[in-house]
């Protein structure tokens, strides 16, 4: 009859198991333990505890295995107090050194975030087996003590205990946490030696380690060599391609990596696996980086169909995707349709409104967020201050800056000061911007001085401009655009000694020449443009561009303001492009107007900041052609509609 209890329990029929148990003429410890085990394995740990208490009242003494099951039940319901009582019981009867009891105690204390007690329970075990070592290693990993966990692993190997797949998976996870590639490679070798490499969990862990450490080649070789895959495998490689996009040497390489991620996602859909929230959030992030609105819309439709849109992670990723692809209306709609919102969701939407120049919407959303009882953080206030800066709302910005410190006890960081300085520079209040810089609690960074320098160059404030330039030069900037801003400013003032200093700095930092390059995607095909490749797309496009330039000049008074010193070539080349060569985004927009449907927005990615001349041209063309033009440069997203740009005409333009 005890075997019958076990059969019903393993088949998930605890009601029948209980009936058989109730009819037992005699109940020994094996019967009680069998029933308890059934309840634990069927996610009814609270009932298992009741059975354990009933057993003690009945007068039956538990074995070490019974106590282990009772401790597992306590762990499942996070009842550390009851677990301590059972621990005391095991000490009273001198069985706390037992392997099964010690293993269960270690797991219980680990789950209840009491790592010290977990380690003490482990050290008490008389005969430590692989489960014991794995329990303490996992305890360290689960309680953010990865280094301690790796030390236990080396002790385990020194004790001649062979790890199993769970041990190796846990150790590889800790290597990922610490980004310890060298240790992880040794564990990879050990897994091959022990014959575990074909194990899917192990391969997933190794692949994810290589992805996290930037060893994408090794990760892809593992992925391509897998005959069997899981959803975790595909999610990891999609996320890995997303990481590769961040580290790509140029935007075209990043786009290619994004395309591969989309291919894996398509393979996932065709393989019988069902995408989960991690699949959708990762691929939506990839779409946002690719500027791939059409693919993002398809993923959006799939989240609706599968019911994952209600998840906060997916909803937030969707908002970010639409925002970064220049569709603030759909980002707002996706935000409104979220069934629940986190601080990240609110903050993302506030930042989206701020980036698109919709200041009132951003500030109103911030007030709605406060009414809902959601406490803002540092990043939230960056969005709020950015919105105020965009609209030149000085009093409001200073008010929010004070509220952040007094009401929410948030200490200002560099990004908060950057917003204030950006606001004053936009308004031409350069002295006020300089006052903010002097009040900062930490030294200004390269970006702060670049903001001030750009404003001084625009407004002709040479005295403050050269002071900012000197401070910027002291920081030895590593950004090519910043160096060229300095270079052009010194050249315009005939300060050739300072020009030489900047050129030497560029050589010292090995800064590459600033190549002007743009690309546009039409029907999943990428077209790239460089100013010096005039014959690449035929004479028709260049004739059309000339017509656009003539119309812009005659109808809306557009004036070309390009400074081709932006394309300064390093070292011995020392030459600039011919004056009749157009910047790459102009070529891309002309190609887009010729090859895309009349109502379709034109989306372009540019590798450096737009210059003011091209910015003026895009405003003119959006008005003349009644076409929405969206350009994402190295600083921000510019959305041109009816002759206006979302950046407010000061988006870090060169």
The tokens for 538 are: 């035929």
Regarding whether 599 and 497 lie in a shared domain, the answer is no
Predicted confidence (pLDDT) at residue 376 exceeds the cutoff of 60: yes
pLDDT per position as a tens digit, 489-538: 888 778 888 888 888 887 777 766 667 888 888 877 878 888 866 656 77
For the cut 80, the answer to whether the pLDDT of residue 561 exceeds it is no
Q: Are residues 639 and 530 in the same domain?
A: yes
Give yes or no: residues 636 and 524 share one domain. Answer: yes
Query: Which of 474, 489, 509 marks a domain boundary?
Result: 509
What is the spatial distance between Cα 17 and Cα 3, in angstroms, rounded to a whole number?
Answer: 10
Chain centroid to Cα 161, Å, comes to 38
Q: What number of other Cβ atoms are within 10 A of residue 91's Cβ?
A: 13
- Model pLDDT for residues 602-652, shown as the tens digit of each residue: 999 888 888 888 888 899 889 888 889 999 888 788 889 988 888 877 655
**How many Cβ atoms from other residues are within 10 Å of residue 263's Cβ?**
12
How many whole angstroms separate alpha carbon 398 and alpha carbon 392? 11
Percent of the chain, pLDDT > 90? 31
Judge if 641 and 524 occupy the same domain: yes
The tokens for 33 are: 């333990």
- 219 within a domain of the structure (yes/no): no
Summarize pLDDT for 54-65 with one digit per residue, the tens: 888 888 888 888
Mean pLDDT of 299-328: 89
pLDDT of residue 574: 41
Question: Residue 565 carries which DSSP code?
Answer: G
Is residue 552 domain-shared with residue 641, that is, in the same domain? yes
pLDDT level of residue 559 (50, 70, 90 thresholds) = low
Chain position carrying tokens 């320098």: 453
Distance CA 629, CA 646 (A): 11
pLDDT (0 to 100) of residue 532: 66
Instruction: Identify whether residues 619 and 542 lie together within a single domain.
Output: yes
Where does the pLDDT of residue 158 fall: very low under 50, low under 70, confident under 90, or very high at 90 and above? Answer: very high
Q: Give just the sign of the alpha carbon dihedral 295, 298, 304, 308.
A: negative
Considering the domain boundaries, does residue 600 fall inside one? yes
Among 509, 533, 548, where does a domain finish?
Answer: 509
- Summarised one tens digit per residue, pLDDT across range 124-151 is 898 999 999 999 999 999 898 999 999 9
> Are both 604 and 541 inside the same structural domain?
yes
DSSP letters along 513-525, please? Answer: P----EEEEETTE
Give per-residue pLDDT as tens, 187-240: 999 999 999 888 888 988 898 888 888 888 888 888 888 878 889 889 988 988
Q: Are residues 588 and 620 in the same domain?
A: yes
Is 427 part of any domain?
A: no
**Confidence category of residue 348, pLDDT binned at 50, 70, 90:** very high
Does residue 578 have a pLDDT over 50? no
pTM: 0.74
Average confidence (pLDDT) over 62-74: 86
Average pLDDT value for the chain: 86
Same domain assignment for residues 482 and 540: no
Which span out of 262-266, 460-464, 561-565 was modeled with the highest average pLDDT?
Answer: 262-266
Q: How many domains does the chain have?
A: 2
Confidence of residue 562 (pLDDT cuts 50, 70, 90): very low
Q: Are residues 536 and 464 in the same domain?
A: no
Give yes or no for residue 564 having a pLDDT over 70. Answer: no
The residue range of the domain holding 502 is: 454-509
**Is residue 138 a part of any domain in this protein?**
no
Within 10 Å of residue 497's Cβ, how many Cβ atoms?
Answer: 7
């Amino acid at each position: 009859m005890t075997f019958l209890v076990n059969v019903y329990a393993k088949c998930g029929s605890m009601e029948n198991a209980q009936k058989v148990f109730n009819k037992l003429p005699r109940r020994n410890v094996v019967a009680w333990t069998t029933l308890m085990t059934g309840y634990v394995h069927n996610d009814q740990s609270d009932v298992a505890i009741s059975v354990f208490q009933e057993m003690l009242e009945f007068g039956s003494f538990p074995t070490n295995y019974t106590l282990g099951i009772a401790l597992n039940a306590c762990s499942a319901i996070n009842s550390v107090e009851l677990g301590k009582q059972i621990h005391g019981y095991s000490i009273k009867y001198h069985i706390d050194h037992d392997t099964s009891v010690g293993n269960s105690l270690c797991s219980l204390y680990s789950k209840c975030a009491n790592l010290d007690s977990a380690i003490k329970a482990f050290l008490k075990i008389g005969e430590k087996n692989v489960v014991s070592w794995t329990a303490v290693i996992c305890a360290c990993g689960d309680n953010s003590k990865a280094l301690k966990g790796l030390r236990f692993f080396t002790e385990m190997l020194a004790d001649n205990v062979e790890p199993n797949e769970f041990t190796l998976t846990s150790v590889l996870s800790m290597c990922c946490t610490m980004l310890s590639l060298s240790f992880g490679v040794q564990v990879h070798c050990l897994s091959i030696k022990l014959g575990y490499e074909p194990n899917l969990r192990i391969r997933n862990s190794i692949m994810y380690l290589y992805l996290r450490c930037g060893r994408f080649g090794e990760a892809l070789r593992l992925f391509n060599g897998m005959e069997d895959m899981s959803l975790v495998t595909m999610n990891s490689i999609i996320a890995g391609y997303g990481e590769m996009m961040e580290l790509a040497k140029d935007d075209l390489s990043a786009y290619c990596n994004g395309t591969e991620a989309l291919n894996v996602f398509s393979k996932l859909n065709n393989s019988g696996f069902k995408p989960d929230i991690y699949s959708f959030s990762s691929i939506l992030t990839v779409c946002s980086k690719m500027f791939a609105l059409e693919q993002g819309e398809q993923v959006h439709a799939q989240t609706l169909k599968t019911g994952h849109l209600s998840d906060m992670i997916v909803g937030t990723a969707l908002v970010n995707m639409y925002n970064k692809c220049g569709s603030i209306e759909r980002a707002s709609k996706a935000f409104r349709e979220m069934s629940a919102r986190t601080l990240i969701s609110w903050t993302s939407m506030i930042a989206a409104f701020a980036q698109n120049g919709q200041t009132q919407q951003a500030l109103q959303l911030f007030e709605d967020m406060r009414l809902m009882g959601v406490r803002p953080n540092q990043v939230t206030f960056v969005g709020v201050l950015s919105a105020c800066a965009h609209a030149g709302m000085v009093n409001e910005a200073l008010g929010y800056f004070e509220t952040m410190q007094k009401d929410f006890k948030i200490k200002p960081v560099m990004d908060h000061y950057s917003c204030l300085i950006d606001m004053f520079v936009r308004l031409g209040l350069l002295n006020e911007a300089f006052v903010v810089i002097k009040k900062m609690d930490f030294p200004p960074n390269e970006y702060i001085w670049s903001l001030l320098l750009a404003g001084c160059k625009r407004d002709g404030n040479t005295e403050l401009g050269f002071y900012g330039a000197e401070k910027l030069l002291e920081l030895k900037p590593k950004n090519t655009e910043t160096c060229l801003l300095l270079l052009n400013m010194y050249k315009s003032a005939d300060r050739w000694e300072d020009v030489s200093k900047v050129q030497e700095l560029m050589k010292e930092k090995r800064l590459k020449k600033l190549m002007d390059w743009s690309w546009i995607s039409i029907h999943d095909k990428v077209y790239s443009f460089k100013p010096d490749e005039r014959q690449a797309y035929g004479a028709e496009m260049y004739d059309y561009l000339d017509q656009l330039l003539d119309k812009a000049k005659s109808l809306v008074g557009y004036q070309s303001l390009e400074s081709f010193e932006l394309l300064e070539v390093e070292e011995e080349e020392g030459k600039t492009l011919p004056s009749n060569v157009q910047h790459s985004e102009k070529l891309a927009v002309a190609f887009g107007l010729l090859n895309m449907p009349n109502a379709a927005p034109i989306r372009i990615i540019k590798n450096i900041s737009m210059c003011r001349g091209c910015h003026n041209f895009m405003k003119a063309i959006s008005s003349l052609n009644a076409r929405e033009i969206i350009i994402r440069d190295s600083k921000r997203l510019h959305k041109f509609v009816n002759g206006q740009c979302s950046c407010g005409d000061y988006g870090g333009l060169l």
